[in-house]
Amino acid sequence: FHLATMGGAKALGKHDIIGSFDVGKDADVVVWDLCEILPHATDEKFRLQMDARDLISLFVYRGCPAAAVSVYVRGKKIHEAPDRGLF
């Protein structure tokens, strides 16, 4: 995860403008629907036992366009999925 965020920004020499959620930095962000990528979406016990490593692994290996709720590039929303009644 670090390599895809601050580590990558440092390698490019751009850590002062990208790589984290610090105020004033540019950000490309995808908001995901976790239930779309969980292998056991209805198993609440499974969801409650997940840690950050589990979540990152799910996004890397099971992330798909259908799970993207909204997409932001440089802080501006460029995509929003149709309302799926999530909330």
pLDDT grade, residue 35 (50/70/90)? Answer: confident
**Cα(14)–Cα(10) distance, integer angstroms:** 6
> Would you say residue 84 has pLDDT above 70?
no
**Cα(16)–Cα(18) distance, integer angstroms:** 6
Averaged pLDDT score across all residues of the chain? 86
> Would you say residue 13 has pLDDT above 90?
yes
Sign of the torsion formed by the C-alpha atoms of 11, 13, 14 and 16: positive
pLDDT grade, residue 37 (50/70/90)? Answer: confident
Per-residue pLDDT tens for 54-65?
888 888 888 888
